[in-house]
Structure 1
Amino acid sequence: MTRTAVVAGVGPGLGESLARKFAAEGCRVALFARSTEFIEGLAADLPDPGEGLAVTTDLTDVEAIRDGFEAVREAFGPVDALVNNASAASWTGLMDASVEGFEESWAVNGRGAFVCSQEAVDDMLGADGGTVVFTGATSAVRGRGGAIGFTAAKFAARGMAMDIAQEFGGEGVHVAHVVIDGQIDSPGDRERHPDRGDETFIDPDELAETYWHLVERDDVGTQPFEVHVTNGPNPSEFI
């Protein structure tokens, strides 16, 4: 079965690894991000037998998201798999957080994932079902203090994933939430934290394997909802 997958939120790190893994498994992969140059280069470089489509999309813009899904349907047909992978963080506590920063975190992690899920699930209900995976974080299950916008948005996304799973699980739509309890390895994070050892980072290629296992199980009746990935003891101190 050839699947059409949308990865909403693609950059160096997990987004790139997801795109490459899904393409290697034969998916037609649409890459949503604001960084046109990066996603166009990645779409052209995806491994066979998959195909890539770069869709420049601001995931805070509702109409841009809907237009993006129309572009995917025109190129590849209905969507079978969606990964809500975009993230925006407001790393400030209650008294220092601005309304604008709080709302930006919500616009990406919450509203953007909501609109993407609406578009994808509508396709899945008209076909043979499919899979929606949310990229979560430590802050989706417990507050860390000092990151109120990010925590609120990630809690909201986890609750949304639960609600979609309960509403549509009986109709063949598998929804999963991946709690990433640690720091994903990416060039930017390596530069920001040069003193950290390899053991403090989570390999994005290994993470992508976990996501793919969730997608390829979309015809199995009993489905896992939540997967918790960690990089060892006390991982949250590295987030």
Structure 2
Amino acid sequence: MKKLLSISLIFMLLYSCDSNKKKSKQQIESQTQNDWIVLFDGNSIQALRGYGMETFPEGIWYVENGALVANPDTTNRDLITKERFKDFELEYEWAVDTAANSGVFFHMQEDLTMESGNGNSPNWLDNYELQILDDENFYDTLAVRSAGSLYDLIKPMNKELKPIGEFNKARLIHNSGHVEHWLNGKKVIDFTMDSPEMKKLLNNSKFKENPEFHSDKEGHIMFQHHGQRVYFKNIRVRRLEK
């Protein structure tokens, strides 16, 4: 009888350990998933607002078929995240209409007046921009301003774009000054801010007259409304700060 009890206790202990391991693994997986902040899931726009606004710019941006769409028939108004980010990983998908132009900015500050309708965003001369573009039909064909580029600074490498109307998958990572931009599973941009190479590029660019160019280390993530129809979906971000 004692022997049977001992065997039963051993099985109970083994089952308990295995169960605890499974729970621990599930908790870790759940915690990893919860690290992501959903900015747009095809429906809710609660994590976003208009530049210089307290609310979402209804009509200027709208939701259609699970995508966030920039309306070309209105004045321009960029979208920013309500939260601010320092080190982060951003995932999103984008598509463009014919000859459309847009971009994603980070560490944005709301310190300039939004000039709706002028075709350009505030701060576009102050911050790095990951370019979104219809390479085939847009009038500017320079590689350094093409889709996936670090606008006017670094041309993308190993780029593979989807046709107009199809969604490209993008990742933007900023971690302690190091930046990576991934497009459809391939890394197309890799640079370090404040490095000698970047300082040289900036000194030879249109941004050279701006000594404060991207001097902020944290801020909003911004999606540009440039006056053409662009689409975003599956937008999420997670913080990388330790």
Query: Which of structures 1 and 2 has the bigger CA Rg?
Result: 2
Structures share fold, TM-score greater than 0.5: no
TM-score, normalised to structure 2's length?
A: 0.28
Point out the structure with the larger strand share.
Answer: 2
Q: TM-score, normalised by structure 1?
A: 0.29
Higher helix proportion: 1
